[in-house]
Chains A and B, each alone.
Chain A
């Protein structure tokens, strides 16, 4: 993707709508779950009944504060709600309750790795608001599904601080992972938990003022957003090259993926007047400092910090670390077992490679194998302690998938094939015979060839048909080689 715009530079700001995963809606008491049958999770608030009043959901407030703390924003001890008026059938009151004048969170910033360079992006503010319902179109009529109506959202408004589509998508995906790891949102993009609007303008490098912007609404994939932004930047640059003194038509666009074009939805001249004014049904939202501090104390580890811990304390490779962080369910599973394991790196490998492969065969996620991560940790410990061999462990892993409730110890005890050669004398006899057959390898080893030793270990394992404990084999081999006068 072209990020060098020659004499031009692109200015991008994002508005992200994120659905908070609270149990109930923002101002009503109905379940906050909209995958259900149309209009099955609706109440008097969600359908805009006369006489009904909004009552703010404290859990949603907590989650908004959690996000605010995670991005180092200022949590405003007093904030207000406002009415935003517009008529649309999915908006039951024909106004949305939002925070236009005094949002709950001001400021904040995140640091992201953009192609190996650390960049900081700043957030203007974050506010609470309720979601609308959804129109469902049928051949001869249109219906409204109010299940999503009243769902709690936070809108995270960045400063116009991004300069390329890539920066925008890295910023957005970092915000998403923060929301996920702080357990504010499920962030399921297909379900619309995380929707992005981009404001885009271009200007000549060195210019101080911002030129008019285009807004692309409602994108729910990072790749499509990059594409949409790039397309819009190119189209604006092309316009200004042709009309150096002209101004682009400001307005609201949507991105048509098939046509690879941004399509104008509403020009600025016809922009709606939302007639914002303070919501009289809700008193000011006053937050006690102790309430905020309580949330701060219970703040979950942020993804960037977690990644740092994985590589620096657990010794995981950046590759494995990224794999884990990118999949919160996998990461949670990994973390549940890692404290029970003496070798985090090996355990990581078993979770991310071995068991994931087995889960993939069944087209399910590792967590859905129903195997406890602690069992996997124990399996790894058994290998490390020399109780079983790696080869045996793979077979035991297969059996664990079949019998998820059995521990690896139980499986190992249930079959003699998982017994290591217990007889030292027999093993020593085998080692002696291998050493006799491979005098050259001993010489190579003594001359510093590490590989020769591994070869000898392999030979012993082969002869014992894998039933010997590798650590024991190594120990005996070393002793015998050193005592041999070769």
Chain B
């Protein structure tokens, strides 16, 4: 049962091969005993209640939703009413959400059942899930390795067959990089395509919720559910989305794929050769490849580490020990409540970024940092505009290096460079999909991303579909679960 896709699972439920309660009980059991540290909380009572309701709904003959009976795991920075939302931080250890995020409402409207919340880097700041205040998460392919981050828990959960689908959030690559590391699909949609209402903000102008899946059809299906206009989010795209699943035919004949050759200098040779094979496969499907250039991408990391912390320093200001965050027991004055609670509540990485963000917005420094970075952001967007004159989509590796071992990167700058290929899509608000394309000699996954102009989310999915039809990489499962699937 665990290796089934969402589409297969839902079909089995609709055909009454399994009841929702049977499916959810099995997945909950697995979630409670999972070996990766992928989860922060298992929503047993809630999930069983929803499963029973769904079984009753099926009995009453009502129309069932697109994701009926499918267990889903969401990152712990997405609010579910009445449930804990920690954001991987001690500061929100006891915070229970007073309302549900739009994505949660939409999933449940389509009869999906959320079974657990996934581990993450604290407030989504990190590339290895190691900044979580709770525990680390292992890569299901090799538990000595990190699953990437910040949505490492959500990625490990889908790779480790804890659920066929999960949600993460992507501010600078936090869905795509862990997807690449865990050998699954991870999608960052066009900015505004999925509502951010109920997603704890990191950097508002870059944040986007995105799904993880093990098949492109599942990804298109959940995108159909999530990509809806939302009137609680002023940046939500108000036109309805296309039917992604229906449009998925894998026909990429004559499609022009832009390749920024300069990106390939100095990257891991195994990733480079996997990328070349990927392009060859797409050419076999009738696509053309053209060389393009994205000259300002070199600046994407420094620009990101000015803009994202700037927004974060204000987004995280609300965590102050006054209302719902834990208040320091040592604090005696108002200023101590702020200083001690925040010092105790935030971890090192988050503190570092808040300080950085506060600094770049300060009087006297704002022009040199924040405003200048905004200008470079426009140049990065302009690069894409120019590139899309010559091609329909752009492809390049998701990460410059394969998954790394726990604790092997300690220098923040080296860690920040993990995002060198993922940040620019957030800067420009583009849809970007990381596709599993194979394994290294050490049996660690490799991901390639495909990007398109805004609103062309369906197009990137279709490139993945074409690739999926020609290959079988997406069927690869981590060794820990081979033959371990008790249906």
Please report A residues at the B interface, Cβ cutoff 8 Å. 44, 47-56, 83, 85, 87, 89, 92-95, 144, 273, 275, 277, 280-283
Contact = CB atoms under 8 A, between A and B. Distances in A.
B363 A51 contact: no
24 contacts: A48-B318, A49-B99, A50-B87, A50-B95, A50-B97, A50-B319, A51-B85, A51-B199, A51-B201, A53-B201, A55-B231, A55-B233, A83-B314, A93-B317, A94-B318, A95-B314, A273-B363, A275-B358, A275-B361, A277-B310, A277-B314, A281-B234, A281-B235, A282-B235
Nearest to A282: B234
A85 B363 CA distance: 12
A56 B234 contact: yes
Contacts of B201: 50-51, 53, 281
Given A275-B366, A277-B361, 15 more contacts: A49-B99, A49-B324, A50-B95, A51-B78, A51-B199, A52-B198, A55-B233, A85-B313, A93-B317, A95-B317, A144-B322, A277-B314, A277-B366, A281-B201, A281-B204
B208 to A, nearest CB: 13
A281 B95 CA distance: 23
A177 to B, nearest CB: 34
A282 B201 CA distance: 14
A89 B232 contact: no
Contacts of A87: 317, 320, 338
Interface string B188-210: 00000000111111011100000
What band does the interface of chain B fall in when counting residues whose beta carbon is under 8 Å from A?
35 or more
B40 to A, nearest CB: 15
Contacts of A275: 313-314, 358, 361-363, 366
A94 B235 contact: no
Given A56-B234, A144-B322, A277-B366, A50 B317 contact: no
Main secondary structure of the interface of B (DSSP, over half): loop
B363 A93 contact: no
B98 A53 contact: no
Interface core residue of B77, B197, B232, B233 (most chain A CB under 10 Å):
B232
A94 B201 CA distance: 14
Interface in B295-330: 310-311, 313-314, 317-320, 322-324
B79 interface: yes
Contacts of A89: 322, 334
B366 A92 contact: no
Contact of A283 (B77, B234, B313, B317): B234
Contact of A50 (B85, B311, B334, B338): B85
A50 B200 contact: yes
Contacts of B79: 50-51
Contact of A92 (B205, B232, B313, B323): B323
Interface string B349-385: 0000000001001110010001000000000000000
B448 interface: no
Contacts, number: 95
B362 to A, nearest CB: 6
Contacts of A283: 234-235
Contact of B197 (A52, A85, A92): A52
B209 to A, nearest CB: 11
Contacts of B99: 44, 49, 52
Interface core residue of A47, A49, A53, A95 (most chain B CB under 10 Å):
A53
Nearest to B311: A280
A148 B207 CA distance: 30
A89 B327 CA distance: 13
Contacts of A52: 99, 197-198
A92 B234 contact: no
B92 interface: yes
A51 B310 CA distance: 17
Interface in B372-401: none
A94 B317 contact: yes
B101 interface: yes
A275 B360 CA distance: 9
A146 B198 CA distance: 21
Contact of B317 (A53, A54, A85, A280): A85
Nearest to B200: A50
B322 A53 contact: no
The 3 closest A-B pairs by CB, nearest first: A94-B317, A280-B204, A280-B205
A85 B360 CA distance: 13
Contacts of B77: 51
B278 to A, nearest CB: 34
